[in-house]
Structure 1
Amino acid sequence: MSLPPAAVLEAFAAEIEPAAGVVALLVGGSLATGDFQPGVSDFDLVALIERPLTDDQRRLVAQLHRAFISRHPEATKLHCVYVPVDDLDEVETPHVTWAAQMMFERPLTGIARAELLRFGFAVFGEPPEAVIPPVTAAELAAAVRGDLSGYWVPALRRPSIWFRDSYIDLSLFTLARAEVTLATNELITKREALTRLDRFHVPAELIEQIRQRRDGHIVPISPLSRVRRAKSVHGLVSDGLRVLLSY
């Protein structure tokens, strides 16, 4: 029987705290915003640790994640960034990260920090607002532009990803959320972004398909329709990025 999200968090917290010296486990993303859909959404976690992980601890943490997934398949999409508390002021510093069932390093971005401050909560330890340094409007705008230019512009040159449902949905959500942040310095949820996709000329039929996928439904699409959708969304995203990066 699958565990509910809260039980997954509690079980993971109990195992990771001693293994990695975690002093606070923070929750962001869809779980924090209320957008979470079991089997669809990621668990986006930040583990604040006493000191950087040693090589032995890295191996132990990777083993813990794999074993946890084997016992709790619903945690396959559990992602966690391990941030030493002394490095919280360093936005560009890469940190040990478990995501997509592998371990690598990446920063805790300005966007992630702002979302933690706006929506996040702690499974244990101090809450985000007590430990995460404030993110200014200029810093948040720069982080959004950096994500658009550093990730999504290069993604336009990767033809294969535009055939995947996940990239179709995420790219369009990104446009809608980025527009609001760049224009108002506010953060919106994916649920709210769904109501703004028409601003980027996303067809109503595609918006409904995205809505159904967010609700956990399988949406069949023929090979020919997938090709047409890839071409159409690639063009919409390209146009949207051009507008947003001119803000």
Structure 2
Amino acid sequence: MPTDALLARFLNELAPLDPVAVWAHGSLAGGDYQEGRSDLDLIAILDHPLKPSTARRLVALHRGLRTDPLAARLHCSYLAPGTQDAPNQRHLTWANDHVTRRPVTPVTRRELHDFGRVLHGGSPKDLLPEVTDQELAEFVVRDQREYWRPAVDKPDVWLQDIWIDVGLTTFARATVTLRDGRLTTKREALDLLPALGAPVQVVEDVVRRRYDDTVPSGVAPEGDWIDRRAELTRAYLGPAIDDLVTRYG
């Protein structure tokens, strides 16, 4: 399997830095992974401070993986010693073919505890603090209120597949977390969306592009549908997010 080959290559390249652990979360760990369409979401725990020289080595490592067609979807955050207990700590992260810094969110931490896949070293349960139900719920509400709700008012971004797909599934997953106190996969989120009032034709479009083997990966829809899809999604998500935040905030 190409994904397994890339992960083995990544772990081999990372080995000289002596990581304490490497974990997968997201679709790869949750059983909803679609090769060539899903991201490879990883967390690596290092055993030494992340000095500039180490950061340069990590950037070079990821750039060297670019010969693999799946490498653009491999994202990894690197946690230095003593930073696992700081929920707002921004960690060096390689994502979307460039380096940035971002926190490991409560959703990611809960995923790692509930169904994280150990690729190397110790378990998340032994090395990563647990997330309380209250911490998880507060983050989910804040994410919907402060990130996704303002984004609804930016019409241009919703012309892109990624915003449609992630915006809808994140809202459905937030609903499940706040209502039932659990995490869910993108597949379950997509199945739930019509019952939550989402536009059925848009949900079907997402499902078709994510799961239909006859649809070439990365090929965007054409014509008036792009504009119509954006309008339908924004018209749904704005009031839906407002209601969710009012109910659980």
Q: How many residues align?
A: 243
Partner of 2:226: 226
Q: How does 1:75-224 map to 2 (within 5 A)?
A: 75-215=71-211, 217-218=215-216, 221-224=221-224
Q: Secondary structure at the match of 1:245?
A: helix
Letter of the aligned partner of 1:171 in structure 2? G
Which residue identity is paired with 2:34? Q
Measure, in 1, the Cα distance between the counterparts of 2:61 and 2:154: 33
**Structure-2 residue corresponding to 1:245:** 245
What is the RMSD of the two structures over their aligned residues, measured on CA atoms? 1.5
Give 1:69's aligned amino acid.
R
Query: CA–CA distance in 2 between the matches of 1:173 and 1:104?
Result: 24
- How far, CA to CA, are the matches of 1:177 and 1:46 in structure 2? 21
Q: Does structure 2 conserve the Cα–Cα contact (< 8 Å) formed by 1:93 and 1:106? A: yes
> How far is the alpha carbon of 1:84 from its aligned partner?
1.5
State the 1:8 CA deviation.
1.6
Name structure 1 gaps, 5 residues minimum.
none
Matches within 5 A, 1:45-60: 45-60=42-57
For residues 77-100 of structure 1, what are the alpha-carbon distances to aligned partners after superposition, in whole Å with 9 as ceiling and x for unaligned?
Answer: 100000123111100010100000
- How do residues 63-82 of structure 1 correspond to structure 2 at under 5 angstroms? 63-70=60-67, 72-82=68-78
Q: Distance in 2 between matches of 1:63 and 1:220?
A: 31
1:10 counterpart (8, 11, 18): 8
**TM-score, normalised by the number of residues in structure 2:** 0.93
SS at match of 2:118: strand
Identity of counterpart residues, as a percentage? 37
Give the C-alpha shift of residue 168 in structure 1. Answer: 0.5
Q: Which runs of 5+ in 2 are unaligned?
A: none
| Residue type of the alignment partner of 1:8 | L
What CA distance in whole angstroms lies between the structure 2 residues aligned with 1:151 and 1:139?
17
Q: Contact 1:17–1:23 at 8 Å: present in 2 too?
A: no
Q: 1:235: Cα distance to partner?
A: 1.3
1:32 matches 2:26: no
